């Protein structure tokens, strides 16, 4: 969790972000909001700190998932993800310093994800009529299985996941479009795959909002990755995704997603490519 604070601090320390550009959610999400995509039984067990052993094991945080600290942090993440999407709708582009908990299903968390912040956000904005078609672009190295399952069969949400085919989760769900990459996939193949998939979906699905899970675990040095994307590859990816969306006139909200390295400063630096690309585009285009 400390990496999220590091990202925030690095962005301000290096002048990538002006303090006036930093927004903080004013309130935590209500139970009703979470129940838009999660079952009431799961939400109540989570909020009450009474998740059963099986779910705690699957989530991976152990008993910590039932502590008020982690409950509040998880709720704050959902609030931040929603606020980021609202800011993107208002300004065309916004990025969170957390978010992208894509392994959370309707009835359970999984893989260090408790609530599916992307799904809650998409569902709320659709129901409010503030978006008609939402693309959830998931470039974390792990398939966005929870998001895919929540929105299976939906015509107003398109889930696109580009991931390492051999990586977690072992049992994949069916996204609207899944692209499983081979181990060791490097910059050129990776970036051309992302570019082709994103361009195609923007043209055919015509979303009016993109929620972008920018996990940095495709990085060559990531401890859980299996792909071979370099720092330069990540830099190019973030510019490619944000520029393609903004250039197509589609608001885009970026989320941190996964990333695994023992040196948190190095890891935060990888995540900051998203915000650096956003800052550059903001300066050049918006
Ligand atoms: Zn991941």
Q: Residue 168 Cα, ligand 1 centroid: separation in angstroms?
A: 8
Domains of the chain: 2-284 (3.40.800.20)
Give 25's contacts (C-beta < 8 A, 6+ positions apart): 76, 79, 80, 82, 83
Q: Residue 20 Cα, ligand 1 centroid: separation in angstroms?
A: 30
Please say if the pLDDT value at position 75 is more than 80.
yes
Please say if the pLDDT value at position 1 is more than 80.
no
**Residue 45 Cα to chain centre, angstroms:** 24
Query: Do residues 135 and 209 lie in contact, with contact meaning Cβ atoms separated by under 8 Å?
Result: yes
Q: What average pLDDT does this structure show over 168-191?
A: 97
Q: Residue 164 Cα, ligand 1 centroid: separation in angstroms?
A: 10
Q: Residue 248 Cα, ligand 1 centroid: separation in angstroms?
A: 27
Tell me the C-alpha distance between 77 and 94, whole Å: 15
Please say if the pLDDT value at position 2 is more than 90.
no
Residue 63: predicted pLDDT: 85
Q: What average pLDDT does this structure show over 18-24?
A: 95
Which tens digit of pLDDT belongs to each residue from 220-251?
Answer: 999 999 999 999 999 999 999 999 999 999 99
Q: What percent of the chain has pLDDT over 90?
A: 95
Residue 285: predicted pLDDT: 77
Please say if the pLDDT value at position 149 is more than 90.
yes
Q: Which of 33-42, 58-67, 100-109, 231-240 has the lowest mean pLDDT?
A: 58-67
């Amino acid at each position: 969790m400390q990496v999220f604070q590091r990202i925030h601090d690095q962005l301000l320390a290096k002048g990538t972000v002006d303090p006036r550009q930093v927004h903080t959610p004013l309130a935590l999400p209500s139970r009703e909001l979470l129940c838009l995509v999660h079952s009431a039984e799961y939400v109540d067990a989570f909020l009450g700190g009474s998740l059963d052993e099986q779910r705690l094991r699957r989530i991976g945080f152990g008993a910590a998932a039932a502590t008020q600290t982690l409950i509040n942090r998880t709720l704050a993440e959902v609030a931040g993800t929603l606020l980021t999407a609202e800011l993107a709708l208002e300004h065309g582009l916004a990025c969170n310093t957390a978010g992208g908990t894509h392994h959370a299903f309707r009835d359970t968390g999984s893989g260090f994800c408790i609530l599916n912040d992307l799904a809650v956000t998409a569902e709320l904005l659709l129901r409010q009529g503030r978006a008609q078609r939402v693309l959830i672009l998931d470039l974390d190295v792990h398939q966005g299985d929870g998001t895919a399952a929540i929105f299976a069969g939906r015509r107003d949400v398109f889930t696109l996941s580009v991931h390492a085919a051999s990586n977690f989760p072992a049992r994949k769900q069916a996204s609207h479009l899944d692209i499983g990459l081979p181990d060791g996939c490097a910059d050129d193949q990776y970036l051309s795959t992302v570019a082709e998939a994103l361009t195609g979906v923007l043209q055919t699905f015509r979303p009016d909002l993109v929620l972008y899970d920018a996990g940095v675990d495709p990085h060559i040095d990531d401890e859980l990755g299996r792909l071979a994307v370099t720092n330069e590859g990540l830099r190019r990816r973030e510019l490619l995704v944000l520029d393609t969306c903004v250039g197509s006139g589609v608001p885009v909200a970026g989320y941190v997603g996964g990333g695994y390295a023992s040196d948190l400063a190095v890891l935060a630096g990888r995540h900051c490519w998203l915000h650096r690309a956003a800052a550059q585009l903001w300066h050049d285009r918006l």
